[in-house]
């Protein structure tokens, strides 16, 4: 074993980061096996500096790893605090998005089995996906970060709108991708879009007074019932025609106005 040890001057220089690279590397190797030099070096480093370094390490180790959706939002330029609040929503996590994608995929796959029944399955399901996502994206019972959101530097109404927009955007991308695979393509790939906006905006408007999940059920059940009722005898796309689309647009506008009027109820 080497009998060489650091003196006070070398220890002070090493602690201050003033040693050249080669001597510093030798000192580091020596410190691994020499308790005497480690004790000498400890006297050269202020305790406050050690505490600060330790706190930084502990904060880094204990910090929660950002979820994939949160990392994507940050990459798109969303502020870290906003990305974390958005990413906390259950409907913006990978398992939910994956389940939505699988459901839409099989609905699109079913559309190729018959002329219209399969297509109706897809057009009925596609508007429901964002409604279900919005229902669990906010609210005391469905939001794991609800208390944190209350302390956020912006209103619950704004947080709700941001999450709803994120859920609607992600669900719409999945539905559009599935819609493009429909046999024949054409307008049917987007015939669900206005119904989706109408159902989602109506759910949000009702959520100003009632639980979001109950609102989603109250909106979804009549929607499915109406589609079934208009197709009891034979498959018919009447609910997705021009008159129906105009009706969905009107529902969307009225719901948005109602949402704006009742925005304070979310606080």
Q: What is the CA radius of gyration of the chain?
A: 29
Residue 42 sits in the same domain as residue 84 = no
Residue 226 sits in the same domain as residue 96 = yes
Which whole number is the average pLDDT over 108-125?
68
Residue 151 sits in the same domain as residue 123 = yes
Instruction: State the Cα–Cα distance between residues 178 and 114, nearest whole angstrom.
Output: 17
Q: How many domains does the chain have?
A: 2
Q: Can you give the pLDDT at residue 202? A: 93
Render pLDDT for 9-52 as a digit per residue (tens, 0 to 9).
898 888 888 888 888 888 888 888 899 998 888 888 888 877 88
To the question of pTM greater than 0.75 for the whole model, the response is: no
For the chain, the average pLDDT equals: 77
Give the range of the structural domain holding residue 52, as residue numbers without chain letter. Answer: 8-62
Q: How confident is the model at residue 154 (pLDDT cuts 50, 70, 90)?
A: low
Residue 75 sits in the same domain as residue 55 = no
Contact call for residues 203 and 173 (beta carbons, < 8 A)? no
Render pLDDT for 89-112 as a digit per residue (tens, 0 to 9).
655 565 566 666 666 666 666 555
Render pLDDT for 50-73 as a digit per residue (tens, 0 to 9).
788 777 777 665 666 666 667 766
Q: Can you give the pLDDT at residue 17? A: 83
Render pLDDT for 216-248 as a digit per residue (tens, 0 to 9).
899 999 999 998 888 877 777 788 888 889 999
Contact call for residues 152 and 85 (beta carbons, < 8 A)? yes
In a domain, residue 206? The reply is: yes
Residue 80 sits in the same domain as residue 20 = no
Residue 151 sits in the same domain as residue 58 = no
Which whole number is the average pLDDT over 157-172?
77
Q: How many percent of the chain have pLDDT more than 90?
A: 10
Instruction: State the Cα–Cα distance between residues 111 and 232, nearest whole angstrom.
Output: 18
Residue 55 sits in the same domain as residue 147 = no
Residue 216 sits in the same domain as residue 87 = yes
In a domain, residue 31? The reply is: yes
CA 255 vs CA 3, 159, 202: distances in Å: 83, 18, 5
Q: Can you give the pLDDT at residue 218? A: 93
Q: Return the SS3 of 178.
A: helix
Residue 152 sits in the same domain as residue 49 = no
Q: Can you give the pLDDT at residue 85? A: 64
Q: Quick one: DSSP state of residue 115?
A: S
Residue 249 sits in the same domain as residue 141 = yes
Per mean pLDDT, which range of 68-72, 141-145, 157-161, 212-216 is the poorest?
141-145
Where do we find the tokens 């009706």?
247
Write the Ramachandran bin of 194: left for phi over 0, alpha for psi from -120 to 50, otherwise beta. alpha
């Amino acid at each position: 074993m080497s009998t060489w040890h650091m003196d006070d001057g070398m220890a002070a220089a090493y602690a201050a980061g003033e040693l050249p690279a080669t001597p510093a590397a030798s000192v580091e190797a020596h410190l691994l096996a020499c308790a005497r030099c480690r004790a000498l070096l400890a006297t050269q480093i202020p305790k406050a500096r050690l505490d600060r370094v330790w706190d930084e390490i502990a904060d880094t180790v204990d910090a929660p790893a950002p979820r994939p959706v949160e990392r994507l939002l940050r990459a798109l330029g969303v502020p870290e605090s906003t990305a974390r609040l958005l990413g906390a929503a259950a409907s913006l996590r990978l398992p939910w998005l994956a389940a939505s994608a699988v459901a839409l995929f099989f609905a699109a796959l079913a559309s190729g089995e018959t002329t219209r029944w399969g297509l109706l399955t897809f057009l009925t399901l596609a508007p429901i996906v964002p409604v279900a996502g919005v229902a669990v994206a906010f609210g005391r019972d469905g939001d794991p970060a609800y208390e944190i959101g209350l302390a956020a530097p912006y209103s619950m109404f704004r947080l709700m709108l941001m999450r709803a927009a994120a859920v609607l955007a992600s669900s719409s991308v999945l539905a559009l991708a599935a819609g493009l695979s429909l046999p024949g393509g054409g307008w049917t790939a987007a015939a669900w879009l206005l119904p989706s906006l109408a159902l989602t905006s109506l759910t949000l408007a009702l959520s100003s007074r009632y639980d979001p999940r109950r609102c989603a059920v109250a909106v979804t059940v009549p929607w499915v019932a109406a589609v079934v009722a208009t197709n009891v005898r034979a498959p018919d796309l009447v609910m997705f025609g021009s008159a129906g689309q105009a009706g969905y647009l009107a529902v969307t506008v009225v719901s948005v106005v109602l949402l704006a009027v009742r925005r304070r109820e979310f606080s």
